[in-house]
Amino acid sequence: MWVYRVALGWLAWELTRSEFWVGVVAFTQFAPAVLFGPIFGVLADRFDPAGGVAADQHDEHAVTWRSWHSPTACGKTDIYVLALLAMMQGILDGAHMPVRMALVPNLVTRAQLQSALATNSISFNLSRFIGPAIAGLLIASLGVAAAFAFNALSYVAILAALVVVRLRPTSRGSAPRGDVWHELKAGVRYVWRHADIRPLLAIIAAASVLGRGPLELLPAYADAIFGRGSGGLAILTSAVGGGAIVAGLILARGAAWLRLEVVAGGIICGGLLIAALGISDLFWLSVCIVVALGCTLSLCGVGSQILLQSLVDDDVRGRVSSLWGMVAFGGVALGGLLIGSLSSLFGLREVTVVTGLVCTVQIVVIMLRYRRTRPHAGSAAHTDAQQED
């Protein structure tokens, strides 16, 4: 996936040399998750044993699509076709995302959940570290089409793994199921009435738009600001992954210290790091900032998943996970488009600095409001959702 993402971002920059179009491609890649993720979250709650089958179908389609995407990307496309292909992949990811997020809790017991999510994060972010390095080598030596071809072949491993995956039974409510729209609304009500999940999603939304969004503009940073080309992009993207691996190792050692306030504090630091990235004019200093940013944002992102999965009930896990993904990935899409558009008008560095400062202020406002409205008793959200399901 990370080979694909680096190749996609670089191809968008190579075709246009425009921060705006890099943002557009990022938007088309992630925006479909907002539309399709919640619907498939409902289906994940209905058909939990079929989660592996759904993921298998997604990956089979991904292999087929990327197989013909490779020659198309090889000098026979323009930015409009590229955005359309990115949107097609985004639709598949919107279907796959809630299933993938609900998969880990269905493989382990609740007591093992924290460790399993941290281990999964290490695996994910290890690929985030290695993948861009592979992409950089492939693009520099063989061209961007080779990176897409490599990505298509890599899905054979996923299909092989899904053959042996066995899901454990989960405790699901016995309430009768309604139509998809009714169940989706019940999931939204569950989140809205939950005293801790609602502010958690608000924080993740701000972090995704204003924290992750600027990272979608790394192709422009690598080439336009530092003049390092695809190799510089690979270094910067791998730096994000390297910091994220550190975050995963920290969480794997235990996360009893995780609280909503800790996640919020980490994102406040992330906003300040984003501003520092906009100020820096030295490449290797920026790499160090990006490492710290990758660690901070991943610590908060994975930490929010651990908190969410420990709070949510099994019978709404797919829906709540899909809403988390809608906020997280939809925020990245919106942030990439917004920051790319503003950067083309006012300058990349200037917009990055303002974005980081706004992120910090917004998290402070959310937490002040949370402290004023936080109830002393636990949430009755689950009971309400079951009654209305």
User: What per-residue confidence (pLDDT) applies to 356?
Assistant: 92
User: What per-residue confidence (pLDDT) applies to 305?
Assistant: 77
Q: What is the DSSP letter of 256?
A: T
User: What per-residue confidence (pLDDT) applies to 379?
Assistant: 42
User: Which of 325, 329, 335, 291 lies closest to 305, judged by CA?
Assistant: 325
User: Which of 164, 156, 176 lies closest to 59, judged by CA?
Assistant: 156
Q: Which residue has the tokens 């989140």?
A: 191
Calpha distance 154→63 (Å, rounded): 9
User: Which of 23, 20, 14, 133 lies closest to 86, judged by CA?
Assistant: 23
Chain centroid, CA 166 distance in Å: 25
Residues in the chain where the model's pLDDT stays below 50:
49-50, 53-54, 64, 68, 173-176, 376-389
Specify whether the CB–CB gap between 301 and 128 falls below 8 A: no
Q: Provide the whole-model pTM.
A: 0.69
Tens digits of per-residue pLDDT, 273-294?
Answer: 999 999 998 999 999 999 999 8
Helices 113-142, 229-252: axis angle to 10 degrees equals 170
User: Which of 22, 11, 15 lies closest to 221, judged by CA?
Assistant: 22
SS3 category, 93: helix
